[in-house]
Chains A and B, each alone.
Chain A
């Protein structure tokens, strides 16, 4: 394995308060040295990082890779390559596949496919309940033994409070977070977008913010009851972040994620019945977007996760109420976050890197999330000032369902290293 020298970039690692221009040397898959002017060893591949940020690799704790079951829409390999192109060195694959990842064999399959892809690392998330049916607990212990890093019934809320309680209690033995998709299914039933003036005008059934908030506070209270670690997926409303703040203030073990689309777009994007603006939770109001941005800034929202959800274009090319929820996100996460959070000065680049790398590593107990001598070289190099126009045709994901198509965004990944290997290099392969 050849040495790689990242030359002259801005080394930015909030986990060690590192922010300095300098070099980073990778040897045998590990970070050999960080900072200062490093002379390239003979035969080292030198990557000029002038004007670039060199950061710990991004980690996405929430994506849908569709394999097994819908390989026509995405495979673990195409998803892992898309992740690498987006600067992610690791992604956590949600278990709502067909069949559901609810046992150790299924977890092993995801890991095996992820390794074979040779791109971003793929960590399986196991289901909370068998078949995600919300009835009986899946075997957390065996799944964790096989490599699962968390459990979740994402895509579906855990309706039974008793089951959620048990999951939070049982997960404590294995030290894993229980990630919940917060949605009161009776309030959200049949909903296609946020409930408000836009849904009233368009004649689409709305999903009130309260459908999310009621489950968020239930989960927070159950975390208080059990001492378990609850991780709230894709928080989208002002009320939710207020509730999370309430929980954190009391020392309850609640962590939360927000998605780039909930930090950038509002329900107005649904205007014209654009099915690429249809996701669950739905795009909310401008006030909600501001509140969630603020929560990312102050740490109430711990991590930014993509909820990458590829769909076949036929499935999105239909009547709004019949189209499936979700958009792709791996290859637009960084530029969306830079454009809507860093560029307007809401958060610093260092905070962004914390929310996209350091914090996810810490919360989900994953390697990476730092630029430190001796650890695996999972590194992302990106130009925070580069502007480019989103053209989904060039994406590595099989999905084309993005509301950002045609937009000019800021921030572009130059290259991604996983365990010292270049798994993505812009313009090269």
Chain B
């Protein structure tokens, strides 16, 4: 049976609203599996999945691995140190070797934009993009959507602002596509040096000041500020970043309404987000992590060619 998502999950840009909703609807019932004492269903028994990580990742890789194991797949983790192009095996050779081992799915994290697609075009196995360069991170986008949907009921008309280093963020791109498709209004806020120059053409509002974003938004998705950005000269200092763009309790207290706070992690406390916000009553950061496992189970399940109608049954071990 062909998957309702197609062969691969490479990004949210080319998915329809229906396909995105389908993943979220499929994830909902699967969440319960992780609440059991025996957190395992046999749905993907016999399937071989390779987690191919060219970049260091703790959270995403662990989340995928739990999702795979709770669906009873056989998993292998391959961590390949981010190497220069002249060293080591090429991606195309890696792809051919994996294909020769007759695997069913590859979860790939890679430092180059387009790497997941490159792999998907060259192997028959399903490919799941776990983050490619500064392009997309679709499962993160989906888990953000699931978290927001649970809190808001619907995303239609809700205002979500993505704050920080949008220029280098794959999370931001997947969020923009997913939120827009599900009917939310999307804004970005950050120093212009960390926003793509053509960002308005992606159909989002732009705020130059975090105060304006807080005034406007129902939810803030606060991006991690990579320390390298300071070294590369995009911003003068982390201290100033916090003073001008930091999401602080003081700023949130002036908001006209309660604002949900999301963060894809790992957080730089005291830089893009203050601890009392991250740990505060409106933070859904840990819900995001919980939902991450369910969303990834749903993606694995759907890509494996399972009928979305059977997701409920999968809980019982279809």
Which A residues are closer than 8 A to B by beta carbons? 195-197, 199-206, 208, 272-273, 314, 317-322
**Are B113 and A318 in contact (CB-based, < 8 A)?**
no
* Contact partners of B92 in chain A: CB under 8 A: 317-318
Instruction: Decide yes or no whether B199 CB sits under 8 A from chain A.
Output: yes
**Are A195 and B197 in contact (CB-based, < 8 A)?**
yes
Instruction: Decide yes or no whether B110 CB sits under 8 A from chain A.
Output: yes
Residues 85-124 of chain B, each 1 if its beta carbon lies under 8 Å from chain A, else 0: 1000011100000000000000000101111011000000
Complex CA distance for A318 and B119, rounded to whole angstroms? 10
> From A314, which residue of chain B is reached at the shortest CB distance?
B90
Complex CA distance for A195 and B114, rounded to whole angstroms? 17
* Contact partners of A196 in chain B: CB under 8 A: 197-198
CB within 8 Å for A201 and B13 given contacts A272-B117, A320-B113: yes
Q: Measured between C-beta atoms, what is the minimum distance from B202 to chain A in Å? A: 6
CB within 8 Å for A203 and B134 given contacts A314-B90, A320-B112: yes
**Are B91 and A203 in contact (CB-based, < 8 A)?**
no
Q: Measured between C-beta atoms, what is the minimum distance from A265 to chain B in Å? A: 18
Complex CA distance for A59 and B199, rounded to whole angstroms? 42
Besides A195-B198, A203-B114, A319-B91, 12 other A-B contacts (C-beta < 8 A): A197-B201, A200-B199, A201-B173, A204-B113, A204-B135, A208-B197, A319-B118, A320-B114, A321-B112, A321-B113, A321-B133, A322-B85
Q: Which of A195, A202, A317 has the most CB of B within 10 A?
A: A202
> From B112, which residue of chain A is reached at the shortest CB distance?
A319
**Are B197 and A319 in contact (CB-based, < 8 A)?**
no
CB within 8 Å for A203 and B202 given contacts A321-B133, A322-B85: no
List the 5 closest A-B pairs by CB distance, nearest first.
A203-B135, A273-B114, A319-B112, A200-B196, A203-B134
Complex CA distance for A196 and B198, rounded to whole angstroms? 5
* Contact partners of B115 in chain A: CB under 8 A: 319
**Are A197 and B113 in contact (CB-based, < 8 A)?**
no
* Contact partners of A273 in chain B: CB under 8 A: 113-114, 117-118
Instruction: Decide yes or no whether B263 CB sits under 8 A from chain A.
Output: no
* Contact partners of A206 in chain B: CB under 8 A: 196-197
Q: Measured between C-beta atoms, what is the minimum distance from B34 to chain A in Å? A: 31
Instruction: Decide yes or no whether B144 CB sits under 8 A from chain A.
Output: no
Complex CA distance for A317 and B91, rounded to whole angstroms? 9
Complex CA distance for A206 and B134, rounded to whole angstroms? 12
Q: Measured between C-beta atoms, what is the minimum distance from A324 to chain B in Å? A: 10
**Are A197 and B132 in contact (CB-based, < 8 A)?**
no
* Contact partners of A319 in chain B: CB under 8 A: 85, 91, 110, 112, 114-115, 118
* Contact partners of B91 in chain A: CB under 8 A: 318-319
Find residues 53-79 in chain B having any chain A CB closer than 8 Å to their own CB: none
